[in-house]
Amino acid sequence: MTGWNDNQNPDGGWAYGRGSSWTEPTAYALLAQLAAGISTDNEKAVFEGGLRFLRATQRADGGWSPQPGVSESTWVTALVTLLPAKAIGEQRTERAIAWLSGQTGRESGWAFRLQQRLGGNDEPYPEAWPWFPGAAAWVIPTSFGILALERAIDRGASSRLRGRVSTAKEFLFDRMCADGGWNHGSNRALGRDGDSYPETTGIALVALHGAPASPQLERAKAAARRHLASCRTAEGVAWLRMGLAAHGERAESPRVLVPRTTVDRALLALADAPRNPLLKAA
């Protein structure tokens, strides 16, 4: 596999394929380099270039937008915080976590107002994360929100974040599809059960690493195995392998996959790594 500098942009970031740098592929490329190990001067220079791009593009509110041309912080903030705080900057990471912990799906607000109108309800509505502020919560941004806050707690952040992580995990289990996996957010639509997708199932399983054994978790792992047996995308296979590995199960795809994007390449590298830097224990 060629070096990461082969398609690194002059600003230090990476594109999905070709063109301008984006936050998501840049963060994944850096995480993949961490998983592989950074030892040579060239590897260090490439890694520092990526960090330089991310430091330069952090927004005033503490978050990151998908790319410099977008004027709003979004879910990619959580992905950036999975990089070592010492690398990206301790204060930058703290500001990002503060922004992230202030975001929630708009349905949480609707549920609260409805409870108040009906006379109150002691059962809180699970708080989860949207793709961008003001939108409904979805599985993928919620999964990354969980990973980001767990990493912050591991660094000694306020223990109040534990409650937010716990309720976000409740959201994931609540959104589980009938087949045991996950799709982007709605497990039932127009009167029928929704089908799960490979990548979302794998991502949710990564976020639920360390969850106690349960019938739901066993169903989720079974769904991941079924998806892995037939999945033909590098992204889906990588996430399914990482999701199962997060629960102590090493699995391989029955087919050889060629990465087509920077994200594909980075995710396959992460799936092959003996220790996954996405997880707080890595």
What residue ranges do the domains of the chain occupy?
A: 203-276
> In 3D, which of 47, 25, 21 has the Cα closest to residue 34?
47
Query: Within 13 Å and on the Cβ side, how many CA atoms surround 190?
Result: 2
DSSP 82: T
Cβ contact 167:137 at 8 Å = no
What per-residue confidence (pLDDT) applies to 277?
85
Radius of gyration of the chain (CA): 19
What per-residue confidence (pLDDT) applies to 115?
47
Q: For residues 100 and 147, give the distance between their C-alpha atoms in angstroms, rounded to a whole number.
A: 11
What per-residue confidence (pLDDT) applies to 185?
72
What per-residue confidence (pLDDT) applies to 281?
46
Between residues 281 and 18, the one the model is more confident about? 18
What per-residue confidence (pLDDT) applies to 73?
98
pLDDT at 118 exceeding the cut of 70: no
pLDDT at 43 exceeding the cut of 70: yes
* pLDDT tens per residue across span 49-75: 999 999 999 999 999 999 999 999 999
pTM above 0.75, yes or no: yes
> In 3D, which of 110, 59, 53, 112 has the Cα closest to residue 83?
53
Cβ contact 259:236 at 8 Å = no
4-8, 98-102, 105-109, 266-270: the lowest-pLDDT one: 105-109
What per-residue confidence (pLDDT) applies to 160?
85
115-124, 156-165, 271-280: the lowest-pLDDT one: 115-124
Q: For residues 151 and 236, give the distance between their C-alpha atoms in angstroms, rounded to a whole number.
A: 24
Between residues 254 and 122, the one the model is more confident about? 254
pLDDT at 1 exceeding the cut of 60: no
Q: For residues 202 and 181, give the distance between their C-alpha atoms in angstroms, rounded to a whole number.
A: 8
Q: For residues 169 and 139, give the distance between their C-alpha atoms in angstroms, rounded to a whole number.
A: 10
Between residues 18 and 157, the one the model is more confident about? 18
